[in-house]
Amino acid sequence: MANSKYEYVRNFEQPDPLLPNTWLVVRIDGRGFHKLSAKYGFEKPNDRRAIDLMNAAAASVMKDLPDIVIAYGVSDEYSFVFHKSCTLFERRESKLVTTVVSTFTSYYVHLWSSYFTNVPLSAPMPSFDGRAVMYPTDHNLRDYLSWRQVDCHINNLYNTTFWALILLGGMGATEAEKELMGTYSSDKNEILFSRFKINYNNEPEIYKKGSVVIRDYELVEPKKSTAAVDSPGMAEQESSDAERGISAQLSKTQQEKERKRREKARITVQHIDIIKDEFWQRRPWLLSNKP
Ligand code: DGT
Ligand code: MG
Ligand code: MG
Ligand code: MG
Ligand code: MG
């Protein structure tokens, strides 16, 4: 195509590649969900419909973007982790963030009526913001996810106690806030148990732990996934590549095979601990150098 005299404006576009060989986390967060949750009458402190809808939208995003390895969600936010070897959109930050945000928002709106039956959506419509953060080591990535899950626990314990004081204890919001000022976790557990006979440990896992979305390879192709990760040959290859600071290079056909496997895998939503080693040890493919 011939260049027009306007073509030079292209030079104003800024390149924005994210660093190679780093874990990419795109975190989206609902805009003004404090107001939105009031408008649609979300139950307090947790509305199961709202959380199920977030999880369904996140699972759909993962289905559409096989480069996402794991996602973690709580409240009105979701973190999507792209593998450090991911080359989607040449790792351009704006393309990755805007694609995740708009795909998530589309599914959130599309699926709304399946979860909020008889609660029609009206303007202003739900919207989400997004950002990308790079984490250079597996350890940093795990600490990031641990940070979000600890946040989930702290907020849920606070909210559960706060709303028990109001809904069951008859307090006003200001009074409840004052009551909880300066309290530790143990104090909140004690308030819940002694005043309301609520054992926090027995609260639903979905509220205490948040939601983890992963591809469950084992259930789809049990032989392949474990064999590939456990073979000593592969492990050696991976450690030497890791030393050089690059991800294992796979041939085009291998890459295509991996991609097919990811696309076919069943996507599951679980409410489990991702802070302890056990979660990662039982799913070695998540942090493996293989994309
Ligand atoms: P932002 O993110 O700066 O635009 O502002 P917000 O209002 O979205 O604030 P944020 O993201 O810090 O906090 C999330 C809000 O969403 C918080 O006010 C509680 C509300 N929310 C999220 N999930 C639920 C739920 O299941 N039930 C209720 N009642 N509220 C929820
Ligand atoms: Mg916010
Ligand atoms: Mg928000
Ligand atoms: Mg939030
Ligand atoms: Mg285009």
Rounded mean pLDDT, 161-187: 98
* Residues that constitute the known binding site for Mg(2+): 29-30, 76
| Best mean pLDDT range from 37-46, 224-233, 259-268 | 37-46
Query: Who's near 134: CB < 8 A, 6+ residues apart?
Result: 18, 19, 22, 23, 24, 25
237 has pLDDT over 90: no
Q: How far apart are CA 194 and CA 156, in angstroms?
A: 18
Please report the pLDDT score of residue 247 as a whole number: 44
Question: Number of folded domains in the chain?
Answer: 1
Please report the pLDDT score of residue 114 as a whole number: 98
218 vs 60, more confident: 60
Which range (61-65, 89-93, 203-207, 214-218) has the least confidence? Answer: 214-218
Rounded mean pLDDT, 145-166: 98
Residue pair 124/179 in contact by the 8 Å Cβ criterion: no
Confidence band for 289, pLDDT divided at 50, 70 and 90? confident
Q: How far apart are CA 3 and CA 12, in angstroms?
A: 16
Residue 62 lies in a domain: yes
The enclosing H or E element of 189 equals helix 185-196
115 has pLDDT over 80: yes
Rounded mean pLDDT, 82-99: 97
287 has pLDDT over 90: yes
Digit-coded pLDDT (tens) for 201-233: 999 999 999 999 999 876 334 444 443 433 333
Asked whether 151 lines ligand 1 (CB < 6 A), one says no
259 has pLDDT over 70: yes
User: What percent of the chain clears pLDDT 70, i.e. is strictly above it?
Assistant: 88
CATH number at residue 22: 3.30.70.3000
Q: How far apart are CA 87 and CA 191, in angstroms?
A: 50
Asked whether 37 lines ligand 1 (CB < 6 A), one says yes
Residue pair 286/70 in contact by the 8 Å Cβ criterion: yes
Residue 25 lies in a domain: yes
Please report the pLDDT score of residue 218 as a whole number: 65
Q: How far apart are CA 277 and CA 282, in angstroms?
A: 9
Residue linked to tokens 């559960």: 160
Q: Quickly list DSSP for 32-96.
A: THHHHHHHTT--SS--HHHHHHHHHHHHHHHHH-TTEEEEEEETTEEEEEE-TT--GGGGBHHHH
Cis peptide, bond prior to residue 17, ω within 30 of zero = no
Residue 188 lies in a domain: no
Residue 130 lies in a domain: yes
Residues paired with residue 77 on neighbouring β-strands, in sequence order: 29, 74
170 has pLDDT over 50: yes
Nearest C-alpha to atom 6 of ligand 1 is from which residue? 32
Query: Who's near 156: CB < 8 A, 6+ residues apart?
Result: 45, 46, 203, 207, 208
Mean pLDDT of all residues belonging to the chain:
90
* Residues that constitute the known binding site for GTP: 29-34, 75-76
Asked whether 221 lines ligand 1 (CB < 6 A), one says no
Q: How close is the Cα of 152 to the center of ligand 2, in Å?
A: 14
Which range (35-39, 93-97, 279-283) has the least confidence? Answer: 279-283
Cis peptide, bond prior to residue 291, ω within 30 of zero = no
Nearest C-alpha to atom 22 of ligand 1 is from which residue? 75
Please report the pLDDT score of residue 1 as a whole number: 60
Residue 277 lies in a domain: no
Domain of residue 95, residue span: 14-164+205-211
Residue to substitute in 76, 203, 208 for testing ligand 1 pocket (most ligand atoms within 8 angstroms of CB): 76
Residue 233 lies in a domain: no
Rounded mean pLDDT, 186-210: 98
pTM score, two decimals?
0.89
Angle at the Cα of 243 from the Cα atoms of 239 and 248, rounded to 5 degrees? 55
Please report the pLDDT score of residue 101 as a whole number: 98
Confidence band for 250, pLDDT divided at 50, 70 and 90? low
Residue 103 lies in a domain: yes
